[in-house]
C-alpha cells in the first residue's frame, strides 16, 4: 500500500520553535544554499577551492553575529544560530565551517574576550562580512593538549607584543583579514589572544592541500616570525586558557548543530534515492532492510537535533557549561558518522560518486568528528564533570 510520505527531516517540527522572523530567515538560507551552492559545490570541493564568487550572496544573507547582541549584530539567538549552522551543513559542511570559524570562533573570541572598545572596533565590520576572521589555536605538535601545551610565545616589548611560533589547520586563514592568535605570554606564562591583521610583517600562511575532508575550507599552516602586534590588538579580557575555553564552549555547541546538518543532508539524499531507485522491479525504499537504514539515520538526526535545541535553550538562559557543549559535540558527531555511513551504504555503488553528494558528507564528517575537540577529549570533559575526577593526565 502507498501512503503520503513524510519526507521532511525536521521530524519533530523543531522549526516551529522559531518565531516567524526566524523561520523566514532559515528559509532564505535554505533557498540560497539549495539554488546557488548545491549545484556548484562539488566543483569547488574537487579543486580544493573556496567559492569566492558566492561571497556577495553569503554577505546578503546576514548570518554572522546571531549570538551577539549589539555591535550591529543581528542577535537572533542561540536556537536560530544553531539551526542556521545545521541548514548550511545539510547542503555543504565546508560552508557551514567557514561561517562557524568566522562568526563563531573569531567573532566569539572578540565578543567574549575583547574590551568594549575592541568589540565596537571589530564586530560590526565582521558582522557585515566586510572583514573575515580566523582562529589560530592548534599547532603542528599541539592539538588536544592546547590548554597546557601551547608553544607559540608572546613577548612584551613596550607597547607591542612580539609573537613567535607556528599554527596548523587554521580555517579561513589563507584569506582572513583578522586571525586570532593564541599564544603563551613570556611575562606571566598565561595564554593570551591577539588579533593579527593581514599583511603584518613576519606573518606567513601556506594553504594545506590534499585534505580528504572539508576540501572547500581553506586551512592554513601559519608561521609567526617576530610578528609585532600593538597592545590594543591584544584581547583585553583573555587572561588565561579559561577564557579561550569560553569561546570553545560556545562553538562546540555550533559544531554539534553542524554535525546534525551533515547527517541530515546525507539522510535527505538517501531518502530521495530510496524512493526513486528501482531494484527487483520496485523502489528500494519499499524493502524492509532499506527502511531500517533510513529510520536509523532519521533517529540519529532527530535525537541530535532535539539535544542541540535543548542545549541552545540552556545557552540562551546562560546555564550552559563546558560539559553540556562537550556532550553534544561528542554525541552528535558519533551519530553523524554512523548516519553518513548508512546513507552511503543505501546508495550502493552510486554512494561513492561525488555527483550524488553523499560521498562528500562521508568525507567531510571525518573532519567534523575530530575538530573542536576530538570525541575522546569531549568525553574526558564530560567524564570529569560527572565523576569530579580529571582523567586528562
Ligand atoms: P591529537 O591531539 O594529536 O590527537 C590524536 C588522537 O589522540 C585523537 O584521537 C585524540 O582524541 C587522542 N588523544 C589525545 N589526547 C588524549 C587523551 N588525553 N586521552 C585520550 N585520547 C587522547 N584548529 C584551530 O585552532 N583553528 C581552526 O580553524 C581549526 N580548523 C580545523 C579544520 C580541520 C579540517 C581540522 C581537521 C582541524 C582543525 N583544527 C583547527 C584543529 C583541530 O581542532 C584539531 O585537529 C583537534 O583539536 C585534534 O588535535 P590533533 O589533530 O592535533 O590530534
CB 330 within 8 A of CB 22: no
Distance of alpha carbon 286 from the chain centroid: 36
93 lines ligand 1 (CB under 6 A): no
Q: Is the pLDDT of residue 124 over 90?
A: yes
Residue 2 has pLDDT above 90, yes or no: no
For the chain, strand residue ranges (E) read 133-136, 153-157, 160-171, 178-185, 191-197, 203-207, 219-230, 278-279, 282-283
The atom of ligand 1 lying closest to the CA of 138 is 25
Report whether residue 138 contacts ligand 1, using a CB cutoff of 6 Å.
yes
What is the Å distance from ligand 1's center to 349 Cα? 31
Is pLDDT above 90 for 3? Answer: no
Share of the chain above pLDDT 70, in %: 100
pLDDT at 349 over 70: yes
Structure confidence at residue 393 (pLDDT): 75
User: 308-342 pLDDT, tens per residue?
Assistant: 999 999 999 999 999 999 999 999 999 999 999 99
- 75 vs 223: CA distance, rounded Å: 35
- The torsion angles phi and psi of 92, rounded to 5 degrees, stand at -155, 115
Cα-to-centroid distance, 1 and ligand 1 (Å): 49
Give the pLDDT score at 158.
Answer: 97
- DSSP character for 189? S
Q: Output Rg (C-alpha) for the chain, integer angstroms.
A: 21
Phi-psi bin for 318: left (phi > 0), alpha (psi -120 to 50), beta?
left
In the predicted model, is pLDDT for residue 170 greater than 80? yes
By the 10 Å C-beta count (0-12 exposed, 13-18 middle, 19+ buried), 245 is classed as middle
In order, the DSSP letters of 52-77 are GGGHHHHHHHT-TTTT--STT-----
- What was the pLDDT predicted at 34? 98
Point out the ligand 1 atom lying closest to the alpha carbon of residue 391. 18
Indicate if the pLDDT at residue 260 is higher than 80.
yes
CA–CA distance, 57 with 83 (Å, rounded to integer): 19
SS3 assignment, position 279: strand
Indicate the helix (H) or strand (E) that contains 309.
Answer: helix 288-316
CA distances from 138 to 14, 111, 134, 144, 153 (A): 35, 20, 12, 8, 13
The CA 377 to ligand 1 mean position distance, Å, reads: 9
Q: How much is the average pLDDT of 32-56? A: 98
Q: Tell me the pLDDT of the chain averaged across its residues.
A: 97
Residue of 245, 374, 375, 381 to mutate, ligand 1, most atoms within 8 A of C-beta: 374
Report the pLDDT value the prediction gives residue 224, as an integer from 0 to 100: 98
- Pocket residue to mutate for ligand 1, from 209, 218, 370, 379, most atoms within 8 A of Cβ: 370
Q: Side-chain half-sphere of 96: how many Cα atoms within 13 Å?
A: 32
Do the beta carbons of residue 126 and residue 132 sit within 8 Å?
yes
Distance 83 CA to ligand 1 centre (A): 25
- The grid cell for 296 is 536509523
Atom number of ligand 1 nearest to Cα 145: 2
- Residue 220: closest CA among 177, 172, 153: 172
Q: Which ligand 1 atom is the nearest neighbour of the CA of 380?
A: 19
Q: Nearest C-alpha to atom 51 of ligand 1 is from which residue?
A: 143
User: pLDDT of 358-376, one tens digit each?
Assistant: 999 999 999 999 999 999 9
Q: Answer yes or no: is pLDDT of 44 > 80.
A: yes
SS3 for 82-112, per residue?
A: HHHHHHHHHHCHHHHHHHHHHHHHHHHHHHH
> Using one digit for the tens of pLDDT, what is the confidence trace for 70-118?
999 999 999 999 999 999 999 999 999 999 999 999 999 999 999 999 9
Mean pLDDT of all residues in 222-243? 98
Ligand 1: centre distance to CA 115 (Å): 29
Look-up of cell digits 589563507: 174
Whose cell is 549584530? That residue is 73
Render pLDDT for 264-308 as a digit per residue (tens, 0 to 9).
Answer: 999 999 999 999 999 999 999 999 999 999 999 999 999 999 999
CB atoms within 10 A of CB 204: 13
Q: Where are the beta strands (DSSP E) in 208-330?
A: 219-230, 278-279, 282-283
Ligand 1 pocket check for 62: Cβ under 6 Å: no
* Residue 1, pLDDT above cutoff 80: no
Decide: 101 in ligand 1 pocket, CB within 6 A: yes
Is residue 219 in contact with ligand 1, taking CB distance under 6 Å? yes
Amino acid at each position: 500500500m502507498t501512503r503520503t510520505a513524510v519526507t521532511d527531516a525536521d521530524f519533530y517540527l523543531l522549526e516551529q520553535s522559531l518565531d516567524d522572523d526566524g523561520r523566514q530567515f532559515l528559509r532564505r538560507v535554505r533557498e540560497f544554499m539549495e539554488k546557488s551552492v548545491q549545484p556548484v559545490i562539488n566543483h569547488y570541493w574537487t579543486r580544493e577551492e573556496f567559492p569566492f564568487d558566492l561571497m556577495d550572496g553569503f554577505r546578503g544573507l546576514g548570518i554572522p553575529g546571531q549570538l551577539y547582541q549589539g555591535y550591529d549584530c543581528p542577535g537572533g539567538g542561540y536556537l536560530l544560530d544553531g539551526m542556521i549552522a545545521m541548514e548550511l551543513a545539510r547542503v555543504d559542511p565546508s560552508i557551514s565551517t567557514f561561517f562557524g570559524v568566522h562568526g563563531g570562533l573569531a567573532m566569539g573570541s572578540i565578543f567574549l574576550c575583547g574590551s568594549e572598545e575592541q568589540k565596537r572596533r571589530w564586530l560590526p565590520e565582521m558582522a557585515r562580512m566586510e572583514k573575515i576572521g580566523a582562529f589560530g589555536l592548534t599547532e603542528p605538535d599541539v592539538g588536544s593538549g592546547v590548554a597546557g601545551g601551547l608553544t607559540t610565545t608572546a613577548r612584551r616589548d613596550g607597547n607591542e607584543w612580539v609573537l613567535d611560533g607556528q599554527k596548523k589547520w587554521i580555517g579561513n586563514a589563507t584569506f582572513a583579514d583578522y586571525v586570532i592568535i593564541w599564544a603563551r605570554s613570556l611575562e606571566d606564562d598565561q595564554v593570551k589572544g591577539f588579533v593579527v591583521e593581514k599583511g603584518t610583517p613576519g606573518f606567513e600562511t601556506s594553504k594545506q592541500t590534499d585534505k580528504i575532508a572539508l576540501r572547500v575550507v581553506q586551512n592554513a599552516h601559519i608561521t609567526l616570525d617576530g610578528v609585532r602586534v600593538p597592545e590594543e590588538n591584544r584581547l583585553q579580557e583573555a587572561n588565561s586558557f579559561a577564557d579561550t575555553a569560553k569561546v570553545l564552549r560556545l562553538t562546540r555547541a555550533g559544531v554539534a548543530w553542524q554535525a546534525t546538518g551533515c547527517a541530515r543532508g546525507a539522510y535527505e539524499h538517501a531518502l530521495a534515492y530510496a524512493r526513486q531507485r528501482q531494484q527487483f522491479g520496485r523502489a528500494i525504499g519499499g524493502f524492509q532492510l532499506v527502511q531500517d537504514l533510513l529510520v536509523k539515520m532519521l533517529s540519529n538526526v532527530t535525537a541530535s537535533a532535539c539535544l542541540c535545541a535543548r542545549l541552545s535553550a540552556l545557552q540562551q538562559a546562560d546555564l550552559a557549561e563546558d560539559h553540556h557543549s562537550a556532550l553534544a559535540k561528542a554525541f552528535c558527531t558519533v551519530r553523524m558518522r554512523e548516519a553518513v555511513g548508512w546513507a552511503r551504504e543505501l546508495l550502493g555503488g552510486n554512494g561513492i560518486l561525488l555527483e550524488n553528494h553523499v560521498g562528500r558528507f562521508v568525507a567531510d564528517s571525518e573532519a567534523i568528528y575530530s575538530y573542536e575537540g576530538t570525541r575522546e577529549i569531549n568525553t574526558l570533559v564530560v567524564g570529569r564533570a560527572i565523576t569530579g575526577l580529571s582523567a586528562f593526565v
